[in-house]
Amino acid sequence: MTSVRFNVFQRLIRQWDTVHPYNAAQIICLAGQADPGAIQAAWEKAVVSLGLGPLHIRWGRFGYEAQSRAPGLYDVPLLPAGADLCDYVSNQLNRPFEVDHYLPLRPFALQQEGSYYAGLVYQHWIADSYSIRLLMRQWFMYLLDPAQARPQPMIFPRGGYRRYFGPDKSRCGWGGQILMMLQGARRLRCVRRLQDPNSGDFTMRLAIHRLPPSALAGALEFARSHHVTLNDLFLAAIAGVCDRSVPSRIVRRRQNLALGTIVDLRSRSRENLDDLFGLFLGYANVICQRDELRDFPTLLQSIARQSRANKATDQAQASACWMACAMLACAFHPPRKRIPFFRKHLPLLAGISNVNLNTTWCAAYHPHPLLEYLRISPTGPLVPLVFTPTTLGDQFHFAMTYRSAIFSDAQAGQMADSFTSSLWPAKLGVK
């Protein structure tokens, strides 16, 4: 068993895990009838063939027992017919994993009319979305196209963020990244904070919303005509939702709002990380001025300018500096004071994790037999609301994860409708 060190983001998420489970999920919808035996056999082959298995955690390092054959270890429960997917996944997002020598992956299957779901809830600190898609691919291939399964195990990182994305590998260098962090901290002092009367309840709920192809086409046309990205448009829509619906303290010097975007850093490395199984994520912030929130076109252009600047200055890579400082701060704060500390210095009202799967393995098998690919992100201790849009073919849907202590299901539905209406062609003036 090969062990590797925790990187800075993994250490930070494990700190969050001590407060509430920080689990995520990915789910594929396949045409046909579920065969429980075949699904379970394919799952075991996928896990073992990639070199995964039960985790062993010791002294800042972890490793997988790849050849473990413990009874029941690779069971894939088939949910009862008629089970609600969102209810089941919501429960799994809030259910903690074990402490040591456990499989940090919980698969399941659910039969629908004419199709079935094969899903995976996982402990997020072990892997990013890219790595889990490789595991989902292996499961899919052993189930439906074994000849295309990956023949060799995954490779585990031999270094952390500094090796792959350190200041010496960015355009800004050490001085630039530290200056960027200090400037970002100053700007965040003008941002409103979450008003959270139930600060100790981090229970999550999931809702999945599917939009017709016309909505995606209209949103793309609008974004291109205004020289912004689709993610910029999503952020502008989320900003409107937060301004209207997320409870926050607005005082004289804190009237703006901040949103976070999760960024896959693999393409930003000078080394090829395609075969690495691990977690390589960063984040970038945009700050929406209060007067901009009243004018959607102005808001959209402001977000687009910030997004371009974030990319030009490698802000997502530089976020590792903030994470390192946050880990250092954890050493001087007892557990009960860590979440207030994070919220004070990174007061985000919502986050987004946006992925286009049309350039991945999924595209070759869509629309048949791969009908749909769902991704679900956790809220964590910092934000009460996370949007996870996913595009495959002309399909577009978004998962919305929200803290049930802050939003009722009815309020969450209204927020989803508000987000959707901001993307609708008629609303945007697209003909």
Walking along the chain (431 residues) 10 residues at a time, the average pLDDT comes out as: 85 88 97 96 96 90 87 92 95 93 95 96 97 98 97 90 75 68 78 84 96 88 92 96 92 90 89 92 93 93 95 83 77 76 85 96 96 96 94 94 96 95 60 37
Residue given tokens 């955690």 in the structure block: 57
Specify whether 167 is located in the same domain as 88.
Answer: no
β 105-111/248-249 pair status: unpaired
Do 187 and 310 lie in one domain? The reply is yes
Domain count, the chain: 2
Phi, psi of 304, deg, nearest 5 = -65, -40
d(CA 243, CA 377): 22
In the listed set 148, 172, 205, which residue is the last one of a domain according to the structure?
A: 148
Q: What is the pLDDT of residue 127?
A: 96
> What pLDDT, on a 0 to 100 scale, did the predictor assign at position 118?
98
Q: Are 229 and 306 in contact (CB under 8 A)?
A: no
Whether 86 and 111 map to the same domain: the answer is yes
Whether 368 maps to a domain, the answer reads: no
Q: Look at residue 371 and tell me if it is in a domain.
A: no
Question: pLDDT tens-digit profile of 197-206?
Answer: 777 899 999 9
Residue from 145, 112, 108 nearest 32 by CA = 112
Whether 132 and 192 share a structural domain:
no
One domain for residues 212 and 329: yes
Q: Which residues pair with 56 in a beta bridge?
A: 63
Q: Tell whether 157 is covered by a domain.
A: no
The answer on 137 and 261 residing in a single domain is: no
Question: Which residues, listed in sequence order, are joined to residue 24 by a DSSP beta bridge?
Answer: 122
If asked whether residues 251 and 283 sit together in one domain, one would say yes
Q: 118: domain CATH number?
A: 3.30.559.10
- 8 Å CB contact between 401 and 205: yes
Q: Is 370 contained in some domain?
A: no
**90 and 171 belong to one structural domain:** no
Task: Give the integer Cα–Cα distance in Å for 280 and 10.
Answer: 9
Q: Based on the domain organization, do 87 and 177 belong to the same domain?
A: no
Q: Where are the beta strands (DSSP E) in 158-221?
A: 193-194, 204-211
Give the pLDDT of residue 431.
37
Q: Does 44 share its domain with 68?
A: yes
Q: Is residue 167 part of a domain?
A: yes
Please say which residue of 109, 126, 148 terminates a domain. 148
Give yes or no: residues 123 and 249 share one domain.
no
Domain boundary among 94, 114, 148: 148
pLDDT of res. 184: 72
Residue 198 forms part of a structural domain: yes
130 within a domain of the structure (yes/no): yes
| Same domain, residue pair 244 and 179 | yes
In tens, the pLDDT along 5-49 reads 998 889 889 888 888 999 999 999 999 999 999 999 999 999 999
Residue 154 lies in a domain: no
The residue segments making up the domain with residue 241 are: 162-352+377-428
pTM of the predicted model as reported, rounded to 2 decimal places? 0.94
Q: Token digits for 53?
A: 């298995």
CATH number at residue 309: 3.30.559.30
